[in-house]
Structure 1
Amino acid sequence: MFTKLLKEVARGKRGARDLTYEEALEAADWIMNRKATPAQMGAFFIAERIKMESVEELEAFVNVSRDAAYRAPIQEGLDCAGPYDGRTKTFFASFATAFLLASAGLPVTLHGAKSLPPKWGVTLLDILAELGIGKEQLKRDRVVPTAAATGVLFVDTEEWCPPLKELRDIREELGMRTVLNTAEKLIDFSHSPYLVFGVYHNTVFDRMSKLLTDLQYRRALIIQGAEGSEDLFIERPTRTYIVENGEARLHVIDPETYGLETTLPEHVEWTAAEQIETVEAVLQGKAHVGYVNQVLLNAAVRLRLADRADSVEEAIYQCKDLLDSGAAWERYTQWRSSLLSEETPAPIGGVK
């Protein structure tokens, strides 16, 4: 049966057709449950890459991935969906931003896995490893209480969705982007009503808008960010799409509008150690103003997205106060200590 589905998407540039949603569900089931052979799975991924996945095909893989994952309404907040192939040339602003948002009362879910193709960049797991946070500290019985106490949940995706771990060898051998690169970012482990989602090319805005509408997020922001991430640029405007009430509209976010546009220091390639050093410097107010402003802008736009502020301008002032007062740094240090401690974390104020 899988061979029949494979033939439909692999008939060449002119003969290939998109699968129906029901067909795509079946194909996703064959792949996620490893009922197809490695050769068949590799052929399917390549054929889809050439044809380009339809919205129905993407949605099917998202839903099958969700069915295979541990998901629970752990906290009602914001899901940050960045690329699982990591970063090489840009600052991981989302990580620092998470603690600023949590200190403002907006729970945040972060998720990731070991680096993947095509970029093979530094990932959140690499950054956490620099803090001494590994698989033992990232088990559910630690991260869920930590999220309840601090408002920041980190999910090791391949542990919460085992089929993705089992498919890693095939993805690494192929060395290219597959439909899973999108699906894994949309598993929505904590049932978040709000989403920020990074893309690399603006040509996918329309497809992703339709997909996020079908997945019924209350409000989502698709961002053509640095290295395909969900982080807004600080040195220039960023193209975004706001998806809400079944509609999507283009919204260009210009840091100059808010007096935040800054030239960042020249940095050729980032290591995990440099990422965490800069994150901690930002949260302590000791970093280059460009990185501080980038975190302020991303946090303010996300607070507005989640209706936690009446305007981006208001949110910027709120976030500045939280940085200056040390509240964001305190949230980060408690989160870090909670994961590294054997004791059950105690809740602190501000998490809703």
Structure 2
Amino acid sequence: MIDLLKEVARGKRGARDLNYEEAARAAEAILGLTASPVQIGAFLIAERIKLESVEELEAFVHVCRKYAHRTPQREGLDCAGPYDGRKISFIATFPTAFLLSAAGLPVTLHGADSLPPKWGITLQDIMFEAGIDIARHSREEAMLAASESDVLYADAQKWCPPLGGIRDIREEMGMRTIFNTAEKLVDYGCSPYIVFGIYHNTVFDRLARLLIKLGYQKALIVQGVEGSEDLYIDRPSRVYTIADGQSSLDIIDPESLGLDIAVPEVNWTARVQLMTAEAVMQGGGHLAFYNQTLLNSAVRLHLAGKAGSVEEGMYICKALLDTGKAWDVYMKWKSSLRGCQTAAQSPG
């Protein structure tokens, strides 16, 4: 590890990018904990200063995948949002997952307990409020729920144990590292489609080249709400669409689709997130969050070829929301996981 550190830690001007083989060696040393905590921290900080190259990111993703439990699902969509959570916005990707499933598109969600730098509300926090303690569920139970609902949730630190092994180091560092990107691309369901959230538009090109290298059939990179994969509902969102090995910049404007609406100020907690999502899935709730779920679902449905246009996707998804089909899928998923939990708690 020391020889690799010498290359990436020479300062902003002297540092060089590692080639794929070197980066893979570094990832192996970190995830295998053969490097010391000091070496791991130094490497991650040096990469943060230098900025990760496409080859380095690709190597780290592949090494993460090597140690992960990856189970091919029916051809579906991977929703790759930030593991450090959200603080000031609605997590529309949660109800969107069940709406997409109701429309015939299987979905994989994944995450972990909150991480730096944001330490926000996570999908697992919302699930806990719904009575699902994901830490108590096996991968087999998650897959059973997916078989009944076409929505898979993967607890990253259970499905890729080495990520759990370096959690303490990441918490002590308290900053973004290369793993904030790599962990979102493990692709537990082996999906041909992905929607991936970013914060800064300066990484659009790098991430587009990475997703092309990773072989996704189609991908959407979204400069979304709080760096998430969620499109804004109160203003346009910049996106990169990737298909056939090519990428193109686009703007998705909710106003042009008749959906633009002011977002109310909300004191978000995990409980409020759950209540808002459940209201939307039952065809109600505040119009801003209903529309945001509708927009994100329609765009993702179109990306995966399940709708001929975003407008058609909106028509399909609105009917599924208003008739309770998305709610039915959610209840199947929730009942499966809670049923496993209850069985595990029963004596004898």
Q: Is the 2:233–2:291 Cα contact (8 Å) retained in structure 1?
A: yes
Deviates more, 1:247-256 or 1:130-139: 130-139
Q: Is the 1:143–1:339 Cα contact (8 Å) retained in structure 2?
A: yes
Query: CA offsets per residue over residues 253-295 of structure 1, 9 Å max, x none?
Result: 000111111111112x411000000000101122011100000
Q: Is the 2:9–2:43 Cα contact (8 Å) retained in structure 1?
A: yes
Note the C-alpha offset of 1:337: 0.8
Corresponding residue of 1:189: 188
Corresponding residue of 2:346: none
Which residue identity does 1:247 align to in structure 2? Q
Corresponding residue of 1:178: 177
What CA distance in whole angstroms lies between the structure 2 residues aligned with 1:127 and 1:296?
Answer: 20
Structure 2: tracts of 5 or more residues without a match: 342-348
What CA distance in whole angstroms lies between the structure 1 residues aligned with 2:36 and 2:287?
Answer: 52
- The aligned runs of 1:5-20 (5 Å cut-off) are 5-20=4-19
Corresponding residue of 1:346: none
What secondary structure sits across from 2:108 in the alignment?
strand
Note the C-alpha offset of 1:103: 0.4
What CA distance in whole angstroms lies between the structure 2 residues aligned with 1:320 and 1:245?
Answer: 30
Corresponding residue of 1:270: 268
Corresponding residue of 1:336: 334
Corresponding residue of 2:344: none
What secondary structure sits across from 2:134 in the alignment?
coil
What CA distance in whole angstroms lies between the structure 1 residues aligned with 2:65 and 2:144?
Answer: 22
Q: Is the 2:127–2:134 Cα contact (8 Å) retained in structure 1?
A: no
Deviates more, 1:185-194 or 1:130-139: 130-139
Corresponding residue of 1:157: 156
Corresponding residue of 1:316: 314
Which residue identity does 2:131 align to in structure 1? G
What CA distance in whole angstroms lies between the structure 1 residues aligned with 2:181 and 2:281?
Answer: 30
Note the C-alpha offset of 1:74: 2.4
Tell whether 2:100 aligns with 1:101: yes
Corresponding residue of 1:35: 34
Note the C-alpha offset of 1:305: 0.1
Distance change in 2, residues 1:327/1:230 (3 Å): same
Corresponding residue of 1:293: 291
What CA distance in whole angstroms lies between the structure 1 residues aligned with 2:74 and 2:229?
Answer: 20
Identity %: 60
Candidates 275, 278, 281, aligned match of 1:280: 278
Corresponding residue of 2:116: 117
- Root mean square deviation, CA, Å: 1.2
Structure 1: tracts of 5 or more residues without a match: 344-352
Q: How many pairs were matched up? A: 342
What CA distance in whole angstroms lies between the structure 2 residues aligned with 1:180 and 1:287?
Answer: 35
Which residue identity does 2:195 align to in structure 1? V
Distance change in 2, residues 1:136/1:186 (3 Å): closer
Query: CA offsets per residue over residues 203-226 of structure 1, 9 Å max, x none?
Result: 000000000000000000000000
What CA distance in whole angstroms lies between the structure 2 residues aligned with 1:39 and 1:294?
Answer: 43
Q: Is the 2:302–2:313 Cα contact (8 Å) retained in structure 1?
A: yes
Q: Is the 1:133–1:340 Cα contact (8 Å) retained in structure 2?
A: yes
Note the C-alpha offset of 1:137: 5.1
What CA distance in whole angstroms lies between the structure 2 residues aligned with 1:30 and 1:140?
Answer: 26
Tell whether 2:126 aligns with 1:127: yes
Which residue identity does 2:14 align to in structure 1? G
Corresponding residue of 2:254: 255
Q: Is the 1:138–1:156 Cα contact (8 Å) retained in structure 2?
A: no
What CA distance in whole angstroms lies between the structure 2 residues aligned with 1:293 and 1:9?
Answer: 45
Q: TM-score, normalised by structure 2?
A: 0.97
